[in-house]
Chain A
Amino acid sequence: MIDTATLWLVIIGLGAGSFLLRFTFLGFVGDRPLPDWLLRHLRYTAVAILPALVAPLVVFSGENGSTDPTRIAAAIVTLAVGIWTKNVFAAIGAGALTLIVLVYGIG
């Protein structure tokens, strides 16, 4: 269960931080150009941090951190359909369907 004080700290901190990220350039920096090396790293933040977050959740998804084949299969289907169709909802649908079929159909 998530602690209430922590939750509100995160909501307010994340809200303030996100606002600052959005406001920095529009509000403070004006239209001065950003250094190339910074932009180059910013381009890869989401594509690095999201897989880093999700990989352990997929690989250690079973009881007590074991590996659960049904969840691995659902993850692979989601990723494959997502890369193939470039469509977020086709990927979610395919992944969810795979998981539900494997969990209720076989398990």
Chain B
Amino acid sequence: MQSTTTKSAFWAGVRDGAPFMAVAGPFAMLFGVLATEAGLSIFEVMSFSIVVIAGAAQFTALQLMQDNAPTVIVLISALAVNLRVAMYSAALTPYLGAAPLWQRIFAAYLLVDQSYALSHAKFDADPDLTVPQRMAYFFGTCLLVMIVWFGCSYAGAALGTALPADLPLDFALPIAFLSMVAPMMRTLPHLIAAAVAIVVSLLAVSIPYSLGLIVAGALGMMAGAQAELWLKGRRA
């Protein structure tokens, strides 16, 4: 890394981001298919993907709208699923906080799992990068992933109208959610958080307005945080 220019930092980001096309593409496509099946037009699907850019939160909102949950619950739940981007924002601020406001606005819009993970690792490993080089790298990581995200949302929406009606698509969403959750079970507190959330959500299904989901999510979160404290206390 002798003579990094802003331009070469951008292209390094593009290169490092390329493999993530394989992750973003299928999810965007699945969202397009399922949203179309739920009755959304292609224009609505595209607006959703362009305005929100958050797979798990979009799936959550779609499922709850199909369940006729109140709009407030749809928003709270989907935003809760997306809370991790606030952590990403906090984690990148020491590196990008000095950039001009308009760049930080665009960076915030494009802050997703991939751009965060790649950029944080790069900034940490390469402390000599200037702020413009860091921004260039960050935007580089977004380029291909975003093209694929929007393109595959469109492809999925177009495909959704053409699929046979008897496919068991009602269960595609639960399977997608489970596949996203499974790799998150890295530690005992994660498992405890999930277990508490599951038990409470099943006990609380009869609570109206899908409020059971909020209660179960909040209790699961608190259980995970408490479990982490206890484990740390025992080790210390």
Contact = CB atoms under 8 A, between A and B. Distances in A.
Interface of A: 1-2, 6-7, 9-15, 17-19, 21-27, 29-31, 34, 37, 39-61, 71, 74-75, 78-79, 81-83, 86-89, 91-92, 95-96, 99-100, 103
Interface string B25-54: 010000000000011100010011001111
Given A51-B197, A88-B23, A75 B175 contact: yes
Contact of A2 (B52, B65, B213): B65
Interface in B77-91: 77-90
B90 A34 contact: yes
Contacts of A48: 193-194, 196-197, 216-221, 223-224
Interface string B184-221: 11000110011011101110010000001100111111
Interface of B: 23, 26, 38-40, 44, 47-48, 51-54, 56-58, 60-61, 63-66, 71, 74-75, 77-90, 92-94, 96-97, 101, 104-105, 107-109, 111, 168, 170-185, 189-190, 193-194, 196-198, 200-202, 205, 212-213, 216-225, 228-229
Nearest to B198: A55
Which of A10, A37, A96 counts the most B-chain CB atoms under 10 A from its CB?
A: A10
5 contacts: A1-B39, A2-B66, A14-B61, A37-B225, A52-B217
Given A10-B71, A21-B79, A26-B111, 10 more contacts: A7-B40, A14-B78, A39-B87, A46-B81, A49-B81, A51-B181, A81-B182, A82-B182, A91-B179, A100-B168
Nearest to A59: B202
B175 A78 contact: yes
A88 B182 CA distance: 8
Contacts of A54: 174, 177-178, 181
A24 to B, nearest CB: 6
Contacts of B190: 44, 47
The B contact surface, by secondary structure, is helix
Contacts, number: 268
A95 B51 contact: no
Contact of A45 (B39, B81, B168): B81
B213 A27 contact: no
Q: A-B pairs with the 5 shortest C-beta distances?
A: A82-B182, A48-B220, A44-B224, A15-B51, A52-B216
Contact of A103 (B58, B84, B168, B194): B168
B81 A31 contact: no
Given A21-B85, A45-B81, A60 B205 contact: yes
Contacts of B54: 14, 18
A97 B154 CA distance: 25
Contacts of B92: 25-26
Given A51-B198, A52-B217, A46 B84 contact: yes
